[in-house]
Amino acid sequence: MIATIKLTMFGFNVLDGRQKTNLTAYNKQMKIDDFPTLAQFFGWMYFFGGYLVGPSCEYMDYIRFVQLDDKARRSMPSAIKPTLVILSKSLLFITVLVMFSPTYNFSALLKSEWRDLPLWQKLLSIQLVALVTRCKYYAVWLLSEGACVLCGFGFNGYEDDGKPRFDRLTNINVLKCELSQSVKELGDNWNMAANRWLKHYVYLRVTPPNKKAGAASSLVTYAVSALWHGFYPGYYVMFFSLAMYQNIGKRLRRCLRPLMMAVDGKSPVPGRKTVYDTLGVIVTMFIINTVSTSFVGLYLQPVLQIWKDIYFIHYILALLTIAVLQVVYGPLITLQKKRASESGYISKTPTAKPKAKDDDVTDIGGVEPPPNDPILVKQRKSS
């Protein structure tokens, strides 16, 4: 899977280095002008930091790093402390796996004892199984990230306050994943390297130049993501379900979130925004945990049996939400405009759509190099 990401990125980057037109800022950073030697190519393909489980890295990031001179390397801050922090997190999740995975696993959801539980206990156990399952990914991704940080490749320049960043090859943001307020937010912080690949090499590539990406681009991206994982039907059920939930969440956000904020959209309404955020986390994690059983179960028969035992409640909620939105979406948008008009507040962009950050369902994940990235600075000076 990692080789697939790297080979497709490499092919597009070589093409970008040849045609040099209609390139985004990211494409310009990653385009390959000089074809690598076999040693350079295989050194990148088999780079130990992310060879087995990721995170994948761009060829140009890798080659800039290995070609740094001694002065640039000595100027990098010590990576020992951040490496130990990352390692301790990984060990924590390994401990959770060892202690709880024998009890909370997918097989437990197929036992007759589970089927005899009350509905609320079934739903709770699904949440716990999903949480413990995610710990497996947290553990291995943090281990590989720690290796990248320790060798210096994870260094990603400095914050504005001078604090060093070590997130060049970060693949997971655990806290944001577990407290996501939307499906999109979880996608932004889960398997970030793969999401960056999907964004720059699928989503934006299938969108015609100078056109806004739409539903077709999103559908292609989800299809590629499912195909990349494999041919098990559970993958496709999960990804296309998430596409539906993400679209529902986007519409909910558009009609509800402005009402949780002051008219200027900058400060939250006391109490109201807290309730909105809390419900967002609860509903999002419930949906993710329930739908992800298809990702873990792989085959339709056991997954459908589990969902049948909980009365397909996650899909019923989705259909009810869609039906309610058909009725209240327009009036809520009208209420927003009336509220703004009565307060005398005039938006600078009254007809503007939400920013891509909230509207773009696959503008997902990935840590972009900052302007003061020492590797890019070195390249600019030499060019």
For residues 267 and 306, state if they share a domain: yes
User: What pLDDT, on a 0 to 100 scale, did the predictor assign at position 125?
Assistant: 96
For residues 63 and 147, state if they share a domain: no
Query: What gap in Å lies between CA 362 and CA 221, rounded to an integer?
Result: 8
Show the domain range for 85. 78-369
Token digits of residue 294: 């298809």
For residues 346 and 280, state if they share a domain: yes
Q: Considering its fold, how many domains does the chain have in total? A: 2
**What residue type is assigned to position 99 of the chain?**
M
Give residue-wise pLDDT tens across range 20-56: 788 889 999 999 999 999 999 999 999 988 888 989 9
Query: What gap in Å lies between CA 16 and CA 122, rounded to an integer?
Result: 51
Residue 128 has pLDDT above 90, yes or no: yes
CA angle 180, 320, 270 (to 5 degrees): 45
User: What pLDDT, on a 0 to 100 scale, did the predictor assign at position 363?
Assistant: 41
Residue 353 has pLDDT above 50, yes or no: no
User: What pLDDT, on a 0 to 100 scale, did the predictor assign at position 68?
Assistant: 87
For residues 2 and 131, state if they share a domain: no
This model's pTM is above 0.75? yes
For residues 86 and 160, state if they share a domain: yes
Q: Is 314 annotated as catalytic?
A: no
For residues 65 and 170, state if they share a domain: no
For residues 258 and 197, state if they share a domain: yes
For residues 378 and 329, state if they share a domain: no
Please give the average per-residue pLDDT across 180-195, as a whole number.
91
User: What pLDDT, on a 0 to 100 scale, did the predictor assign at position 190?
Assistant: 93
List 136, 229, 250, 378, catalytic entry: 229
**Helix and strand tally (H, E) in the chain?**
19, 0
Stronger pLDDT, 286 or 20, i.e. the higher one: 286
Would you list the DSSP string of 169-223? T--B-HHHHHT-SSHHHHHHTBSHHHHHHHIIIIITTSSPTTS---HHHHHHHHH
For residues 172 and 246, state if they share a domain: yes
For residues 61 and 106, state if they share a domain: no
Q: Which of 40-54, 280-294, 366-380 has the lowest mean pLDDT?
A: 366-380
User: What pLDDT, on a 0 to 100 scale, did the predictor assign at position 366?
Assistant: 47
User: What pLDDT, on a 0 to 100 scale, did the predictor assign at position 160?
Assistant: 84
Q: What is the mean pLDDT of the chain?
A: 87
For residues 93 and 50, state if they share a domain: no
Residue 373 has pLDDT above 50, yes or no: yes
For residues 98 and 116, state if they share a domain: yes
Token digits of residue 17: 């280095």
Please give the average per-residue pLDDT across 74-86, as a whole number.
92
